[in-house]
Amino acid sequence: MGSCGCSTRTLIFALFGPPGCGKGTQATMIKERLGYVHVSTGDMFRNAIARQDPIALQMQEYMKRGDLVPDEIIRDMLQVELGALLAQSQRPKGIILDGFPRTLKQADLLGEIMVKLKLQFTGVISLEVPEEMLVQRLLKRGTGRPDDKEDVIRERMKVYYEKTRPLEEYYAKHNALNTINGVGTIEEIFERITPVVRSWETNSPC
Ligand code: AMP
């Protein structure tokens, strides 16, 4: 609990950007160097499939074709994950949301989760990378992910521009959007992200 009586000590922000923009890599850097917890809804979903979770298994067709899983399914998974993180005796200093929210509906759902968990959503860091660089990067990535095939990548890209990109405008209207140039070395991009996170830490209410 913060000194002002609220429990907003854990800073929480979202990392945005199209598939292949380097979100996952930067989230790992923020985790390792700034001590944040990385919460990826894609990883949560893949882990749920790996452990044969019945709902995740039912939903895996969405992922295989590059489409989004229904909002409420992901919301429930995220709520459980965040609740567990906050219930730890040592609350995390900060949480990076990677892959959520992805639709306007999810932005609303995130607001509801924040109220329930008594957290305050800080804002969004969006990595900008030209579209033509993205597909090539993803194909080179060679993760073996079933959704890293060219036709599925193109579908994921389409879904991103149709459903997720409009969220930038939404967060810009709320003065919560920070756009970062996502072209450069991993270190260079991390150097651009760090001051934004540091300024949030400085201005955090508790
Ligand atoms: P990612 O690893 O973030 O690219 O996510 C991989 C896949 O998991 C997506 O293509 C979706 O099928 C599913 N997924 C992850 N996060 C979400 C989300 N916030 N909303 C809906 N589906 C999601």
Does residue 2 fall inside a structural domain?
no
- Residue 190 Cβ contacting ligand 1 at under 6 Å: no
- What the block records as the tokens of 183 is 């072209």
Does residue 74 fall inside a structural domain?
yes
| Dihedral angle over CA of 160, 163, 45, 83, nearest 10 | 120
Nearest CA to ligand 1 atom 15: 42
Domain span holding position 113: 11-201
* Mean pLDDT in residue range 195-205: 89
* Mean pLDDT in residue range 53-61: 94
pLDDT tens for each residue of 5-52: 454 479 999 999 999 899 999 999 999 999 999 999 999 999 999 999
- Residue 99 Cβ contacting ligand 1 at under 6 Å: yes
pLDDT tens for each residue of 66-119: 999 999 999 999 999 999 999 998 899 999 999 999 999 999 999 999 999 999
CA–CA separation, 63 and 41 (whole Å)? 12
Does residue 178 fall inside a structural domain?
yes
Ligand 1: which atom is nearest the Cα of residue 99? 3
Does residue 3 fall inside a structural domain?
no
113 CA distance to ligand 1 centroid (A)? Answer: 18
Does residue 147 fall inside a structural domain?
yes
- One-character DSSP codes across 10-39: SEEEEEE--TTSSHHHHHHHHHHHH-PEEE
CATH of the domain at 94: 3.40.50.300
Assign 189 a pLDDT band (cuts: 50, 70, 90).
very high
Number of domains in the chain: 1
CA–CA separation, 96 and 135 (whole Å)? 24
